Structure 1
Amino acid sequence: MKVSRYIGNPIIEPKDIRPYLKDYEVIGVFNAGVMRYGDEILLLLRVAERPVHRDPNVGLSPYYDVANGRMGINQLEKGVPGYDFSDARGIATPEGSLLTSLSYLRIARSKDGVHFEIDDRPALFPENQYEIYGIEDCRITQINDTYFINYSAVSNLGITTCLASTKDFAYIQREGVIFQPDSKNIVIFPQKINGKYYALHRPSSSSFGKPSMWLAESPDLLCWGNHRFLMGCRPGLWDEARIGGSCVPIKLEQGWLEIYHGADRNNRYCLGAVLLDSEQPWRVIARSTQPFLEPETDYEKEGFFGNVVFSCGALYEDGKVKIYYGAADTSMCYAEVEMSEILEQLEQV
C-alpha cells in the first residue's frame, strides 16, 4: 500500500512548543484530536511537560494539587528499595505508579494542514481529582453543531474517560466522566445509528484476556451500556498484544471504516483498519491482516517511546484519508493514503 508521508515530517516537535509551566520542559507533543473548523484544521494536541531535572539522584513526578489549585511535585530518591525508575514514562512505587510528566491539551491551527500556529495557553488543563496526573489522547467527534471531545484523565483513582463539548473551541465545557476505570481509546461515532449513539472502547485487561475492542451504546452520550465484545488480538500478527480504536469512524457506502492501532509483543505500535456494518456496528465485515502505517522512519523509531505510530484523528476528504499521528510519543506527523487502497487491503472475516 502506498502511504505518502509529508516530506517535512515531523510537522510539530517539542522544540516548537513554549512550556506553559514555569521551570518545566516540553518533552512530547503527540496524539492529537483532529477537526476541520471553518477554513482551518485544528489539532487538539497532547502536550507533555516535565519538571527540569537538576539532581540525577532524584526522580520527579508532577501532579495537580486540587486542594490548593496549583502544581505540585513528588520527589523520590533513587536507589530506595521497591522503587523502579527504569521506564522513562513513569516511576513504579509500592503504593502504585507515578508519571514523570504531566499532559494537557493545546490547540494548533492551520490553513494548509501542515504548517500550524500553536496557542500559548492550554485548551484543557487538569482541574479535578480525576485529572491530577494529566489529560491525554483526545478524540473529537462532531455531531450537528457541537464538537464532543473525549479524553483520558489520569489520577491515583485510575484512568477514566471524560467528555467535554464546545461549539467554537473558544469555550470548552466539561461534561464529566463517561467510562469507568480503566477503559481507554474511546471513539464516538459521528451520528446516531437506529436512534442510539455508539462508541468503541478498550477495557483494561484482566488475568483472563488481552486488551481488546468493545462497543457500547448510549441514549445521550453520557450514560453508556450494553457493552459487547467487538474484536480481539490476533496471535502472530502485528496486533497480537493489544488493540484499540484510534480515529472517529468514517461512514462509507460499504460500512463504518475504523482506523485502529495495534501493538505486538515488542510494543511496536502500527495502524490498521476494520470495516463495520452500517446498521449493526457490532458486526465486523473485514479487517487488516497487515498494517498500512508502521514505524519505519527515524522519527518514528526513535524518541521518548520508540517504534510507535499512534493516531487519534484523521480527515477523509477527496477520497484521501489524511492521518495526523504521534511518532515515538514525541512529535506530530502527517501522512495521506487513498481510501480505496485501505479498502482493497482488508480481508473479509
Structure 2
Amino acid sequence: MQNYKLHRLSDQPILKTSDVRPAMEGFEVLGAFNPATCLVDNEVVMLLRVAEAPKSQSGIISVPLLENRDGVPTLTVKHFPEPAQPYDPRVITLDGKVYLTSLSHLRLARSTDGIHFTIEDKPFLFPARMDESFGIEDARITFLDGKYWITYTAVSEHGPGVGLAVTTDFTDVERVGMILPPPNKDVALFPQRINGKYYLLHRPMVSDIGKPSVWLAQSPDGVHWGKHQFLFGGRGLTDPRYAWEGGKIGAGPEPLLTDDGWLVCYHGADPTHAYSLALALLDKNDPSIVLDRSDEPLLMPELPWEKEGFFPNVVFANGWVRWPDGRIWVYYGAADSGVGLAELVRE
C-alpha cells in the first residue's frame, strides 16, 4: 500500500453546504457531505448526505425526528431550552434522552465531468420508517447483478443500523429494509459474488470490550447475512506509529478489484476524533485474508475547510469512481461541511 498516494485535485471543496437548498420549509442546511458515488453511462451520480434542522432560535434547541402518529411515521420538531454547558453539535442529551440535532437524508447530484454537479432540490431517500426516525446517513453505492445497491446508516433512538435500497435508474428506488440491526454502520458491498457468495464489510460498534473494527460477512442472496468475522482493526492502541487510527476505523466505498486483490479504502480516527484515509488490500479469492495495509494515512485534514466546519478535522470517504481509463477519483466529506476530490495514484 506504500506505493499509493492520494493527490487533491483542488485546494477548494467541489461542493459546499451553501450550494444545497433545504428540502423542508422552515429548515436550514447544516451540512452537505460524505457522498456515495458511482459511474452511470460516463456520468458521476452522487448521493450526498444532507443534514437539515429547523432555523435556529436564540436559547432554543429544536430537534427534528420522526414520531409514530397513529401508525404513521411523521416528521416532528421538539423544542428544548438550550443547555448552559457546551455540547456536541451533532448529538445531545435532553430530558434524559439522546437526540441528533439534525435530520439527514440522501440527495441526488449528477455531473458529466465529475467536478461540477447539479444538485436536486428534493430528497432521493428521506427517512420513512421508525428505524430511520433520526435520519439516513453516509450511503455507499455498489453496482451488482444489474442494479445499484445502496447501503446506508439508518439511525433511530435504538441506535444506528444498516438499511438497503436498490435502483436501476436512480429515478425509482425500492427500499429493501434493514439488513444489519443496531449498533452497526459503514457497510460496503463487494461488486461481484466471490465463490458464489455475496460479501460485505461492516463495522459493529462495541462497548466495554474491543474497539470499532472492520468485519466481513457473507450472504446467499444479498439480504440475509451471516458468517461474520473480524477482518482488521486499528493499530494505534499497541503501536504509537498508528495513533491516527487509534480511536476507531471503518470501511469506506465499495471494494475495487485490482490485479493484486480487493482494494479497500477506510477511515481511521485518532483519540481526538480527527479522521484520516488509508488503504487495505484483500485477497481476490478469499477476502478474509488481509494482504497489506497503509503504514501512514494517505489523506489527513490539512486545509482550512477540512479542519474547520460543523464537525472539525475530518476527511471521510464513502464514494469513489474508477473511470474507463483507469483513473480513480475519491470523493470525501470534509469537516461535515463540504466535499473534496482527490485522485488515487499508484507510483
- The TM-score by the shorter chain falls in which range? over 0.9
User: Offset at 1:76?
Assistant: 1.3
8 Å CA contact 2:80–2:94 kept in 1: the answer is no
8 Å CA contact 1:66–1:128 kept in 2: the answer is no
Letter in 2 for 1:216: A
User: Offset at 1:91?
Assistant: 1.1
Residues of 2 paired with 1:132 and 1:77: CA distance? 22
Letter in 2 for 1:173: E
1:27 paired with 2:30, answer: yes
User: Offset at 1:316?
Assistant: 2.1
Residues of 1 paired with 2:322 and 2:38: CA distance? 11
Letter in 1 for 2:150: I
Higher-RCO chain (CA-CA 8 Å, sequence separation at least 6): 2
8 Å CA contact 2:108–2:120 kept in 1: the answer is yes
Aligned equivalent of 2:335: 328
TM-score (norm 1): 0.93
Aligned equivalent of 1:12: 15
User: Offset at 1:289?
Assistant: 1.0
User: Offset at 1:14?
Assistant: 1.2
Residues of 1 paired with 2:200 and 2:48: CA distance? 22
Letter in 1 for 2:213: S
> Deviations 1:278-307 (Å, cap 9, x if unpaired)?
111011110001011111101101101111
Aligned equivalent of 1:41: 44
Q: Say which SS state the counterpart of residue 15 (structure 1) adopts.
A: helix
* Structure 1, unpaired ranges of 5+: 342-349
8 Å CA contact 2:10–2:341 kept in 1: the answer is no
> Deviations 1:314-333 (Å, cap 9, x if unpaired)?
11233432000000011011
TM-score (norm 2): 0.93
8 Å CA contact 1:35–1:41 kept in 2: the answer is yes
Residues of 1 paired with 2:121 and 2:179: CA distance? 29
Residues of 2 paired with 1:113 and 1:322: CA distance? 9
8 Å CA contact 2:73–2:130 kept in 1: the answer is no
Aligned equivalent of 1:210: 211
1:110 paired with 2:111, answer: yes
The size of the alignment, in residue pairs, is 336
Aligned equivalent of 2:77: 73
1:247 paired with 2:248, answer: no
User: Offset at 1:66?
Assistant: 4.1
Residues of 2 paired with 1:255 and 1:330: CA distance? 33
Residues of 2 paired with 1:32 and 1:105: CA distance? 9
8 Å CA contact 1:158–1:181 kept in 2: the answer is yes
Aligned equivalent of 1:299: 305
Aligned equivalent of 1:310: 316
8 Å CA contact 2:51–2:103 kept in 1: the answer is yes
Q: 1:57 aligns with which of 46, 56, 59?
A: 59
* Structure 2, unpaired ranges of 5+: none
Letter in 2 for 1:334: L
